[in-house]
Amino acid sequence: MILDERTYAIKPAHVRDYLDLYVREGMELQVSHLGHLIGWFTTDTGVVNEVVHMWRFEDAGDRERRRAAMEADPRWQEFRAKAAPYVLEMRSRILRPTAFSPLR
């Protein structure tokens, strides 16, 4: 099992706009492709214009197949075009749980 952690820096004062757009037009589609959503989060301290979301995959191959199918979906491309003006930066990390982690 791996976790895909994605952090997006959103234009200041537009986090709510970005999240509203995602809930309206992106979330159902993304979940249908990627499967197991761990959660979506906003930052409360530090850099406060960030959103973080985490997805669970069986392995790197599972992640690659699911993300490729999503990227090939014209509906996802349409959503990304609408969301792109809000995004300043994106970072992605793959996390592997330790042997004693509750998430394994």
Could you report the per-residue pLDDT of 49-76, keeping only the tens digit for each?
999 999 999 999 999 999 999 999 999 9
Residue 102 lies in a domain: no
Total tally of structural domains belonging to the chain: 1
* Residue 37 belongs to some domain of the structure: yes
For residue 31, give the CATH number of its domain.
3.30.70.100
* pLDDT band at residue 102 under the 50/70/90 scheme: very high
Residue 104 above 90 pLDDT? no
- Domain membership flag for residue 99: no
In SS3 terms, the chain reads as: CEEEEEEEEECCCCHHHHHHHHHHHHHHHHHHHHCEEEEEEECCCCCCCEEEEEEEECCHHHHHHHHHHHHHCHHHHHHHHHHHHHEEEEEEEEECCCCCCCCC
* Domain range for 60: 2-94
Mean pLDDT of the chain: 97
What is the C-alpha to C-alpha distance for residues 75 and 44, in angstroms, rounded to an integer? 31
pLDDT on residue 103: 86
- For residue 101, tell me if it sits in a domain: no
Q: 39 or 103: whose pLDDT is higher? A: 39
What's the pLDDT at 53? 98
